[in-house]
Structure 1
Amino acid sequence: MTSSKQLNKISKFLSFVLRHKPEAIGLELDPNGWANINDLISKANTSDEQINLDRNLIQEVVETSDKKRFVISGNGQNIRANQGHSINVDLQLEPVTPPEFLYHGTATRFLDRILKEGLKPQQRQYVHLSTDIETASVVGQRYGKPVVLKIKSLLMHEQGFTFYLSDNGVWLTTQVPRDYLER
């Protein structure tokens, strides 16, 4: 079994190349964000990142990740990130009716701007939302002192906003205008 430190390092590397910068190792993603696993291994192992990947390590990261950030294709040949891309990919998600409320965790230092401008995806394709306060709070802690915002998601949906549910349970939408936010 691989150490949690090594798995974490590999997970961060996979996030970097599958969500943000595949070109950093010369990797190409298809329009839906899929990378060929053999290409990924070959390019990672010859990159300057000093990552020593193999299929077993990739499989272990996918299976043990509590956030389920990655998925391997049904034929076992490809891998992609479930969400969180800063590059344009089509995850082929179908619109879904959200629950009445969803939650977004952020740091208090961003609160004034968010309450003024609403939630925007920043460098990512979508705004990420959670179904529960606890998860949103954990997300917010990554950026500083956390605050959780309550999103009137069903009302947004009824007023024409589209929501998607990623394979790992993260709710996605392109923006949340301030009128749909509550502290």
Structure 2
Amino acid sequence: MDAKKIRKRSKFLSLVLRHQPDLINIKLEKEGWTDSSILLEKINDYRKGEQFTFQELEYIVENNDKKRFGFNADKTKIRANQGHSANVEMNYQPITPPSVLYHGTATKNIKSILENGILKRNRQYVHLSADLETAQKVGARHGKSYIFKIETFKMKEAGIKFYCSENGVWLTDFISKKYLNEK
């Protein structure tokens, strides 16, 4: 498959399944699911002339390096695994995190984070990585990367809940500056 075409379609899927389902007039169920065939129909109506096939959708779900999407058991429904700004309830269950997690950000955000902690902003959760390499990649998306080391053990002791999405992204509601260490 054409890598450029697949990347473009994956980004569009992220947009409609995480942030703007109304762009193509689809509805997300309470837990973020939408009908796979209706999704394709609406995408194809929106992008007239360029057909998005079920085989391409399967390929994206199975091969996306960040595992952003998932099907239900019979592939009749699809959803984004995390990162929503759209109003969905993923029903993550609290889980004990590793003793250390990382947050990658751009250097332009350091001052604000040191003053205010890490905010979820327009997303439902703050996103954390279990490894430095992933945090580095996340931070580099918006400029020179900077990594914060998160003291999750202290947060857990304070009663703060953590969740882990299906694709291994760690999630929490907020990280106070007192739990941050500069890597």
Q: What TM bracket, shorter-length normalisation?
A: over 0.9
Give the equivalent residue in structure 1 for 2:9.
10
Partner amino acid, structure 2, of 1:95? P
Give the equivalent residue in structure 2 for 1:130.
129
Runs of 4+ in 1 over 3 A off after TM superposition: 48-51
Tell me whether 113-122 or 40-49 shows the greater mean CA deviation.
40-49
Question: Does the aligned pair in 2 maintain the 1:10–1:51 contact within 8 Å?
Answer: no
Give the equivalent residue in structure 2 for 1:98.
97
Structure 2 stretches lacking a partner, 5+ long: none
SS at match of 1:98: coil
Instruction: Note closer, same or farther for the CA distance 1:79–1:47 as it changes in structure 2 (3 Å cut).
Output: same
Give the equivalent residue in structure 2 for 1:41.
40
SS at match of 1:46: helix
Partner amino acid, structure 1, of 2:121? Q
Question: Does the aligned pair in 2 maintain the 1:44–1:51 contact within 8 Å?
Answer: no
Equivalent residues in 2 for 1:1-183, closer than 5 Å: 2-48=1-47, 51-183=50-182
Structure 1 stretches lacking a partner, 5+ long: none
Deviation at 1:52, TM superposition (A): 2.1
Partner amino acid, structure 2, of 1:164? Y
Instruction: Note closer, same or farther for the CA distance 1:120–1:47 as it changes in structure 2 (3 Å cut).
Output: same
Q: What percent identity do the matched residue pairs reach?
A: 45
Tell me whether 122-131 or 44-53 shows the greater mean CA deviation.
44-53
Distance 2:152 2:48 in 1: 40
TM-score, scaled to structure 2: 0.97
Deviation at 1:123, TM superposition (A): 1.1
Tell me whether 68-77 or 49-58 shows the greater mean CA deviation.
49-58
Partner amino acid, structure 2, of 1:108? T
How many residues align? The count is 182
Question: Does the aligned pair in 2 maintain the 1:18–1:33 contact within 8 Å?
Answer: yes
- CA-based RMSD of the aligned residues comes to 1.1
